[in-house]
Amino acid sequence: MQTNNKVNIFALEIWDDEAAKCTFYTVKYDEAETNETDLFFEKYDAIAEYKEANQELLSFVLLSIGNDHGAIDELFNRDENEVKGLPVQGKRTIENITYHFPEFPLRLYALKITNNIVILFNGGIKDGPTNQKSSLHLEWRAACEFAKRINEALQDGTIIVNEKNRKLTNYDGSDEIIL
């Protein structure tokens, strides 16, 4: 199957590290000006029909995952092959807070590294019964390709997980991670 050819060289960079429980990373293609997660949120913030859902999803990521609970499995329960789809699937109650996003129109793809480190990708409009039959098919495939490369780099030691500081580093200890 042909996938997005742009998944050649990309950098892992911090997207948000100010939350109490989770550091979020994103990916940025070599030569791109904007990272994939910002592209997602900027795109759907600019479309009136999706603006409210976009803001709900951003709040879910930054507040519910970032500040309140971390990347716990209960909030990362939408399996999409190599990645997870956000927001949470079904109804989940955690610490007296119920999360429920019935027929939510957007998907943001993510790779959970630990309960405190998550890599966010891009996403799109969930307008089909499966990712393969939805207009977000290419974004999903790209996210899966990113995730495969990142998982390989974690396994071979190219990327080191520093759980104490909630960060990822290159094998040489630097913050610059290019894959």
78-125 per-position pLDDT tens digit? 999 999 999 999 999 999 999 999 999 999 999 999 999 999 999 999
pLDDT beyond 90 at 151: yes
Segment 128-152 shows an average pLDDT of 90
Q: pLDDT tens digit string along 31-87? A: 999 999 999 999 999 999 999 999 999 999 999 999 999 999 999 999 999 999 999
Contacts of residue 120, Cβ cutoff 8 Å, sequence gap at least 6: 15, 24, 25, 26, 36, 37, 61, 108, 109, 110
Nearest to 17 by CA among 119, 97, 151: 119
Tell me the whole-structure pTM to 2 decimals: 0.92
More reliable by pLDDT, 5 or 8: 8
What span, in angstroms and rounded, lies between the C-alpha atoms of 101 and 124?
Answer: 16
Amino acid, res. 107: R
What span, in angstroms and rounded, lies between the C-alpha atoms of 100 and 31?
Answer: 38
Domain boundaries, the chain: 11-178
For residue 131, what are the CA distances in angstroms to 45, 60, 71?
A: 22, 21, 23
